[in-house]
Amino acid sequence: MLHRRQSVSPMRAAAVLAALSLLAACTQPEGRYAYDATATQSIPPAFAAPGGIPGKNDWSGESGASGHPQMAADAIRQAAAHFPQCLERLWPEAARRGISRATYDAHTRGLTPDLKIMDLMDAQPEFTKTFWEYLDLLVSEDRVQRGREVLQEHRAAFDAMERSYGVDRHVIAAIWGIESKFSTRMGDRSVVRSTATLACVGRRQDYFRNEFFAVLDLLQRGDVTAEEAKGSWAGAFGPTQFMPTVYRTYAVDFDGDGRRDVVASVRDLVASTANYFHRHGWQKGETWGYEVEVPKDFNFLLADRSRLMTIREWERLGIRRAGGKAFPRSHERVWLMVPAGAQGPGFLMLNNFRVIMRYNPSEAYALAIGHLADRLRGGGAFVQAWPRHERALSREERLEMQQHLNRRGYALGDPDGNFGPKTRAAIRDFQAAAGLVPDGFASQATLARLRGS
């Protein structure tokens, strides 16, 4: 989500290639967007012909998978047809935020919407993969090896960052590695065009208007150039994938060159990312959490973010640290997460895990960051096995599960196929009422019981 520049070495040239993340940095209550790491920027037609064969970078012409009214195909076509008028309606608010007419016109004159984004908006890997598939993808041996090399190559920058911000270097390196594979991948979509498109088309226009105005402000201030402001479909850019509002708020000039450069300056990007964590409450000297063994007869209704207890209290309930290790501080207050339910490993999470989730509210993402950080530090793989025989529910099945839960009186809001804390709490409550293990795991067996009850 955040990042930027160092004045020498091959890293500067590599970082200028600003990576496209596998994940998006924009915050949402039940998850976060994922970036398209392979798509190239194009200027697709405003309308995709029904039944036609769109090009690789054209919008499919189909409604979004979320089912949101503004993601219906006709709604997208109508919004795209009025894109120039939408940009003109946004100008007065841009002016109120200090954007000059010259800046506004320079970056919006002749701009067309990138409707391919509408296909990407509802395709989020956090919601189409199991936790273990997600971890396999992001915490690879290649990424671990490269991360250790980067930590050594830029040791001075990480040393200075830790002295100033107190944030664990391995976590910052993990963010860099997961967001951009240490800048080996590049997002080439114009951030202005992406955020302008999303400010006028689709289901999160209010959110993206702020991002659109923020990137114009960054361009006007000279923090970035239009060429540097290239990134994901959602507008995040730089090696740690900062959204424009995050860049504007948290970026720092750590190399002292007079410019907050989280695209190409290693010192700026490391310190800016650490500044985000520091200002959101990172606890110096603490880890993110511990892998734990959960008894088979455990009351899984206790596995909830709101249930904070000391490690000593969890131990009294039978929780043990995986691999026979001891907990370093039994007084720490933690909560229990069981991402694969009773069939997989458990994790006791500290405050720093919540801070990682401020960067990206996906538990799968935050677990990947924590695990990669541990691997970069020299740690090994998780001790316990995942239930690899289970498959992730399809989006259609997830929507169906939420619809069944809503009909049974669980207040989830409009079904969207994205499972966050509310959905998992409802699953647990239903499982308990149905005589199943209330572990909150969205399994095929739970969906079958919902269908038949």
Q: How far is CA 189 from CA 186, 198, 235, 260, in A?
A: 9, 13, 8, 21
| Low-confidence winner among 13-27, 98-112, 224-238 (lowest mean pLDDT) | 13-27
112-135 mean pLDDT: 84
| Percent of the chain with pLDDT strictly greater than 70 | 86
Per-residue pLDDT band for 396 (boundaries 50, 70, 90) equals confident
How far is it, in rounded angstroms, from Cα 339 to Cα 103? 47
Q: What is the mean pLDDT of the chain?
A: 87
Residue 83 CA to residue 395 CA, distance in Å, equals 30
φ/ψ region of 183 (left if φ > 0, alpha if ψ in -120 to 50, else beta) reads: left
Enter the tokens of residue 148. Answer: 């250790």
CB atoms within 10 A of CB 136: 14
Q: What is the pLDDT of residue 421?
A: 82
Tens-digit pLDDT profile for residues 8-51: 232 333 333 333 233 333 333 333 333 222 222 222 333 333 33
d(CA 327, CA 347): 12
Range with the poorest average pLDDT among 122-131, 354-363, 405-414:
122-131
Does the pLDDT at position 422 exceed 50?
yes
If pLDDT is split at 50, 70 and 90, which confidence band does 395 have?
A: confident
Per-residue burial over 340-356, b = 16 or more CB atoms within 10 Å of its CB, e = otherwise: bbbbbbbbbbbbbbbbb
List the one residue out of 166, 169, 134, 137 whose CA is nearest residue 155.
Answer: 169
pLDDT(392) > 80: yes
- Contact 339/319 with Cβ under 8 angstroms? no
pLDDT at 414: 83
Residue 88 has pLDDT above 70, yes or no: yes
pLDDT at res. 418: 79
pLDDT category, 183, cuts 50, 70, 90? confident
Whether the predicted pLDDT of 211 surpasses 50: yes
pLDDT digits over 126-150, tens only? Answer: 456 899 999 999 999 999 999 999 9
* Topology classification of domain 9-123+187-279: Helicase, Ruva Protein; domain 3 (1.10.8)
Residue ranges matching CATH 1.10.8.350 in the chain: 9-123+187-279
| Predicted pLDDT of residue 385 | 97
Q: How confident is the model at residue 56 (pLDDT cuts 50, 70, 90)?
A: low
pLDDT over 90 (residue 428): yes
Query: How confident is the model over 271-300, as pLDDT tens digits?
Result: 999 999 999 999 999 999 999 999 999 999
Looking at residue 229, its pLDDT comes to 94
* Runs of H (alpha helix) within 110-243: 116-121, 131-138, 141-153, 155-165, 169-180, 191-200, 205-221
Predicted local confidence at residue 420, as pLDDT = 81
Are 298 and 284 spatial neighbours (Cβ–Cβ below 8 Å)?
no
Query: Taking residues 167-189, what's their average pLDDT?
Result: 90
